[in-house]
Structure 1
């Protein structure tokens, strides 16, 4: 978060600093959420209630985080730019700009394969059987 402080006057800056210090003090004095949640659950149980009865099902469990995307294994680079060796590409995902610009100027992706590491994946799969068209007479 960025606040543009240039247009603020001295009075506005001192007010902003004072308010920020008060907010910082309030945040530092609070107990952690987990500790407060445990205390509330203990107090509710002592009184003969459950958290679900008092606040509903949503309040009983902490906020669920989004499931993380599963990461695949690291893949070795398949293509390398001969002019700048740190430019590499695994062949997965969107084609990088350096390779796209070279292809646009007439090069082939085969020109940038790393020797001994990568083989070009064929675009056309061989047909297992050919169809023949018979005309009815």
Structure 2
């Protein structure tokens, strides 16, 4: 059955296309039902389940990569947030250009604060840096005194 598509009007072409689509869907669903029946018959005859033949496989990709909570929020549109990672969003750049707006003023409550343990580690690092600096300075003055 050859149809000369060039002789058909636009409405006839649309009708033909919709008929062909519905026929394609019907044929496809019938084919799927046949294949499913064959597979179920094979599994039943072998005494197996589909899970025995095709065990669930873990999807490959990023593992343990959790999303980062938002750290900054647009006061003009609270639905716009930024985690502080990656390129700065346009709304943030525009707000920072305004006088008096700082990154700290856009922090979500509690988002930018360090945990007490992290704060102690930071304080300990600062103290150890200061101690190292003082020791270095003392050694330098001792060397100068010896030379003189």
* TM-score using structure 1 length: 0.50
Higher-helix-fraction structure: 2
**Higher gyration radius (CA):** 2
